[in-house]
Amino acid sequence: MKHEAFPLPLDATPADAQTVEKLRRLLEQERRARRDAEAIAERGLRELYESQVRLALLQRITDFANQSNDFGAVLDMALKEICVHMGWDFANAIRVAEGGREAVACNTWYAADPKRLFPFVEVSREFTVPRGEGLPGRVLRDDHPHWIDDIADEAWFHRRREALQAKLLSACAFPISVGEEMVAIIEFFSSKPMVDKDNILLTITQAGTQVGRVIERERARAALLHDALHDAMTGLPNRVLLDERCRAAFQHLPADRTGLAIMVIDLDGFKAINDKYGHHAGDALLVDVTGRFEAAIVAFQQSSGRAGHATLARVGGDEFVVLLDGLPDPEAAERLAALLHDVLRAPTQVDNDLVNAGASIGIAYSGPVYDDVEQIRRDADLAMYEAKGEGSGRTVTFTDALGTEARNRMALERELREAIRDKQFVLFYQPIFALGGDRRLMGYEALIRWQHPTRGLIDPGAFLPAAEESGLIVFIGDWVLRQACTALARLHARMPKGSGEPPFISINIAPQQFLQPSFAQQIQRVLAETGVPPDCVRLEVTEGVAIIDADRTRQVLEEIRDWGVRTSLDDFGTGYSSLSYLQNLPFDTLKIDRSFVASIDDPKSRNIVRAILDLAGSLNLSVVAEGIESQDQGRTLIEMGCEYGQGFHLGVPLDEKAAFALVDERRAA
């Protein structure tokens, strides 16, 4: 810096010279301070400008990344933007492949002047390097950016010769990661020395993050799609995906529509396992079963020479479906079903127990009669229910006959629902007598009839099984209970006081109805509502209820007997006739099944009846013989000591008016 001269007057004293010198230095200091301040301001402005450029660049990349789902296109755009705005000569993208073992250039690059860089572009467009080698390989290995200040110095750099030929000097490379996983590497080359590495690092890293978000979004979308089509617990296709595959498979069937089968699989007793061990155990069992089914399907495909295609789906709690497509032969589905039963044979550990989960399988094959795949699915479902009805571990293949039968049953069920709604049921009453002496009328058994609008009066044998199977028996039974007690109340009401022991009503209770948790309450309610004396009500159950749950049966019987209600064991001798039930369950009455009465001429039957009477006597039970059709039968029973009886010979079941008129006849007699 040149000093400015300050000419002094001739008469200046040395003191003046000193003052001038001081002023000069002060001025100089001031100038320097101003220049520094200007330089600082200028640098600040430049930095501000640069960061604005960087921000704008990032904003453009971010906007593009937000709008696009195409990772390649976003990479392409980002490379170009970064090159143009940061002054690089060449940029290149490399994908991470083979689970992170390789870096593969993917022909995604940008060059400001491709002609000038030609040989280098050529070697950079497509190459593969293992992890650890070359520039991208090092980034892949170390998971951080790498810099080359002077390419001439780096012998390990593979493309060194072409780079020098293109007069490139410096380079850098950065990872692009999604979460923990590196998905790509981007590299940049320049013919100038690199300045301000901090800024480069910041800008390119941020750009890389934006580019990576495209993949992240794609993955999230794919995961959502997967979740929408798969069962979260087992990972199997769900109903939606199954439906889609079924429709697609059906569309591709040949003209005769053969070659496809649908199997519906329902685990037997799964609910019981769930209830006993809890939902976690149930879930674990389902996952275990899924693994076994998958193994069976693999074995099936191997044994079929890999013909056909199988989709195993979970469509409900314990319900699975297999779609078999391109079947190798007409019995293929049965073969797979056998394998599925096989894999379930080994027990599963649930808590500390070993449980056996069996399955019921229904199969339906495609064919010319089907218009859509839903119909096949419905028929497979129907076959599965049929298999369930046959017991555990069965397979049933749908046939036309089965279809007709099931449709009839379904029609009957529908009609039963209408019957409940339209009150088409009526009760008949069959008198029960004391057999000896003057044959006293003791009470009645209420027996249901269906007053069908077109078919007339229908006996219970024709509709109760369907009512039990469909669960409708619970509603019907409730109606019977109310109706019978109301009728008895009417009968009692019109009997004069002091006219002797009032007649009882005997009401049949189906096992399902009896085992309802609210059954005892229901009895109590009906007793309260109708006001009938509890000891005039008898509930008839069969051994079926004890077989299902003996403990609960005893509990319920004891409870209702505490209120005074009487209990009868119906149809004794036909079922299990287990003496232990008879001994342990609190019954008042035992009803000998009419089959023994019908054959009472046969000494064998007579011996059985005698044994039953002895047993009843020792257990202090009264006995009613059912189905007495002749005077002889009645006499024999009286001789054997049977106290009570009912039957066509004594009185057929009649409607309320006719049946209850018997009370008046008796009084009149």
- Return the range that interacts with Mg ion (CB under 5 A); candidates 51-59, 127-135, 488-496, 505-513: 505-513
Q: Report the distance separating Cα 481 and Cα 377, nearest Å.
A: 40
Nearer to ligand C2E, 282 or 647 (CB): 647
H/E stretch holding 314 reads: strand 309-316
Cβ 446 to Mg ion shortest distance, Å = 9
Looking at the Cβ atoms of 333 and 416, the one nearer to ligand C2E is 416
Compare residues 130 and 471 and give the one whose CB is closer to ligand C2E.
Answer: 471
Q: Which of residues 505-524 bind ligand C2E (CB under 6 A)?
A: 508-510
Distance between CA atoms of residues 124 and 94, nearest Å: 9
Among 194, 629, 662, 666, binds ligand C2E (CB under 6 A): 629
Kindly state whether residue 253 participates in binding ligand C2E, applying the rule CB under 6 A. no
- Residue 176 · residue 72 · CB < 8 Å: no
| Residue 325 site contact among ligand C2E, Mg ion, none (CB < 5 to 8 Å, cut-off depends on kind) | none
Nearest CB to ligand C2E, comparing residues 331 and 629 = 629
204 binds, among Mg ion, ligand C2E, none (CB under 5 to 8 A by kind): none
What's the min distance (Å) between Cβ of 511 and Mg ion? Answer: 13
Strand bridging mode 170-178 / 456-458: unpaired
User: Counting contacts by CB under 6 A, is residue 6 touching ligand C2E?
Assistant: no
Nearer to ligand C2E, 200 or 480 (CB): 480
If the CB atoms of residues 460 and 533 are measured against ligand C2E, the closer one turns out to be 460
Q: Which of 31, 648, 655, 661 binds ligand C2E (CB under 6 A)?
A: 648
Residue type, 61: I
- Counting contacts by CB under 5 A, is residue 543 touching Mg ion? no
Q: Give kind and range of the element (H or E) at residue 592.
A: strand 589-592
Q: Where are the alpha helices (DSSP H) in 515-650?
A: 519-530, 544-548, 550-562, 579-584, 594-598, 603-618, 631-639
CA–CA separation, 500 and 377 (whole Å): 64
* Cα distance between residue 665 and residue 439, in whole Å: 13
> 411-430 mask for ligand C2E (x: CB under 6 A)?
-------------------x
Q: Interaction with ligand C2E in 442-481: which residues (CB under 6 A)?
A: 446-448, 459-461, 464, 477, 480
Q: List the beta bridge partners of residue 189.
A: 90, 171
Question: Considering CB distances under 5 to 8 angstroms, the limit depending on partner class, which of ligand C2E, Mg ion, none binds residue 461?
Answer: ligand C2E
Q: Which two tokens stand for residue 647?
A: 């039957």
| Binding partner of 285, given Mg ion, ligand C2E, none, CB within 5-8 angstroms per partner class | none
Instruction: Answer yes or no whether residue 430 interacts with Mg ion by CB under 5 A.
Output: no
> Of ligand C2E, Mg ion, none, which one sits near residue 86, judging by CB under 5 to 8 A according to partner kind?
none
Q: Which is nearer to ligand C2E, 127 or 475 (CB)?
A: 475
Three-state secondary structure readout of 355-416: ECCCEEEEEEECCCCCCCHHHHHHHHHHHHHHHHHCCCCCEEECCHHHHHHHHHHHHHHHHH
- Asked if 570 is part of the footprint of Mg ion (rule: CB under 5 A), the reply reads yes
Q: Following DSSP, what letter does each residue of 408-475 receive, concatenated?
A: HHHHHHHHHHHHHHTT-EEEEEEEEEE-STT--EEEEEEEEEEEETTTEEE-GGGTHHHHHHHTTHHH
CB of 626 to ligand C2E, least distance (A): 6
Q: How far apart are the first and last CA of the chain?
A: 151
**Per CB under 5 A, 571 contacts Mg ion:** yes
Number of residues that bind ligand C2E (CB under 6 A): 25
Q: Which is nearer to Mg ion, 381 or 626 (CB)?
A: 626
Whether 642 contacts 613, CB under 8 Å: yes
Applying CB under 6 A, does 571 fall inside the site for ligand C2E? Answer: yes
Q: Quick one: 54 or 591, whose CB is closer to ligand C2E?
A: 591
C-alpha 354/C-alpha 361 separation (Å) is 23
Instruction: Quote the CA–CA distance of 565 and 6 in Å, as a whole number.
Output: 135
Q: Nearer Cβ to ligand C2E, position 396 or 442?
A: 442
Among 642, 202, 161, CA closest to 439: 642
Q: Smallest distance, Å, CB 464 to ligand C2E?
A: 6
Reference 649, options 623, 613, 621, 625; nearest CA is 625
Three-class DSSP category at 585: coil
The pattern of x and - marking residues 607 through 626 that bind Mg ion according to CB under 5 A reads -------------------x
Residues binding ligand C2E (CB under 6 A): 430, 446-448, 459-461, 464, 477, 480, 508-510, 540, 570-571, 594, 626-629, 646-648, 653
* Interface with Mg ion (CB under 5 A): 508, 540, 570-571, 626
